[in-house]
Structure 1
Amino acid sequence: MRSIKIVLFGMLTMLVVACTAPIAQVERQPFPDDAQNLTMDQIEDAIIKAATAREWTVSKLATGKLTATYAPRDHVAKVEIDFTQHDFSILYVDSTNLKYNGGTIHKNYNRWVNNLKVDIQREVAAKVALSS
Structure 2
Amino acid sequence: MNKKTFFALTIVAALLTGCARTAPIHNVNQTLTQRYTDNQMKLAIIEAGINRKWVMTPVSPGVINGRLAQRDLVANIRITYTSQNYRIDYVSSENLNAGQGEIHNKYNRWVTSLDQEIQLRLSALAAQ
**TM-score of the pair, normalised by structure 1:** 0.81
2:122 to 118, 121, 124: 124
Distance in 1, matches of 2:77 and 2:108, equals 11
Distance in 1, matches of 2:125 and 2:100, equals 36
**Residue 76 of structure 2 is aligned to residue 78 of structure 1:** yes
Q: After TM superposition, which residue ranges in structure 1, 4 or more long, deviate above 4 angstroms?
A: none
Gaps of 5+ in 1: 1-6
1:104 to 88, 102, 105: 102
Distance in 1, matches of 2:72 and 2:119, equals 28
Structure with more helix by fraction: 1
User: What fraction of aligned residue pairs are identical, expressed as a percent?
Assistant: 37
TM-aligned CA deviation for residue 30 of structure 1 = 1.6
Gaps of 5+ in 2: 1-8
**TM-score of the pair, normalised by structure 2:** 0.83
Alignment RMSD:
1.7
TM-aligned CA deviation for residue 39 of structure 1 = 1.5
Distance in 1, matches of 2:44 and 2:100, equals 31
TM-aligned CA deviation for residue 102 of structure 1 = 3.0
TM-aligned CA deviation for residue 129 of structure 1 = 1.3
Alignment coverage as a number of residue pairs: 114
